[in-house]
Structure 1
Amino acid sequence: MNKTTLIIGASHKPDRYANKAQKALTEAGHEVIPFNPRGGEIEGVEVRSDLSNVTEDVDTVTLYVRPSVLEDMVPTLIDLNPRRVIFNPGTEHEGLELKFVEAGIKVSEACTLVMLNTGEY
């Protein structure tokens, strides 16, 4: 059964990895919740601009923002109680990863696109 993925740092720009991941996740049958403070719409899906508006059961959070942007979001993301958080290349931060681990959330330093392509997602 495919689960819901929250994409932090969603982008409407086709050359961005967050955009490519959203397309690939959708094509693989996963529900996606794109998040970007700017809001809008990507590929016909509403982009959430406020994490407090995420009420769905989130299985995976995949990150496409630098650690300094992520830092203030961590408590809210922990409150969503996802099964796992994927730190895509360039988003890694040992201290922030530890906060998720301490909350009982699995952390992976990986690439969502590679995980999808290799069946590891």
Structure 2
Amino acid sequence: MKTLVIGASHNPARYSYMAVKMLKQYKHEVVALGRRARGVEDWEIIDGTPDIPNLDTITVYLNADNQKEYYDYFLKLNPRRIIFNPGAENPELVALLNKNGIETENACTLVMLRSNQF
């Protein structure tokens, strides 16, 4: 299952960093997207709005204001679902995604992984 972590950070104290690490630990294929491309340990953060074929899940670590520039990108990627982690909740985007047949959840990716709900 391929997952896009949007708002990825190179800082080990950030939840988006922990999500990338844990997704990899649980053997998920991960694409990390952040503001600046850079190498981090054994993975990379990419930037921009690249095509990501066969994407199942987007997990969001951006606040609602910073998500606006990605609305069309999310629709274009057309994942099965988008997870809004704590602090990333966005009712406006949820309504748009649901209208376009994309499942949404307000949840914590780390908790979902640990409890086998991912």
TM-score with structure 2 setting the length: 0.96
Q: Which residue of 1 aligns with 2:27?
A: 29
Deviating 4+ runs (over 3 angstroms) = none
Report the alpha carbon displacement of residue 37 of structure 1 after superposing the two structures with TM. 2.1
Unaligned runs of 5+ in 1: none
SS of residue matched to 1:46: strand
Distance 1:114 1:67 in 2: 21
Q: Pick the aligned partner of 1:85 from 82, 86, 97.
A: 82
**Match for 2:67 among 65, 70, 80?**
70
Q: TM-score, normalised by structure 1?
A: 0.93
8 A contact 1:8–1:65 mirrored in 2 = yes
CA deviation after TM superposition for structure 1 residue 82, in Å? 0.2
Deviations 1:30-59 (A, max 9, x none): 0100001211122322222111x2333210
RMSD: 0.9
Q: Is 2:97 aligned against 1:105? A: no
Deviations 1:47-106 (A, max 9, x none): 22111x233321000000111110110111111010000000000011111111111000
Stretches of structure 2 that go unaligned for 5 or more consecutive residues are: none
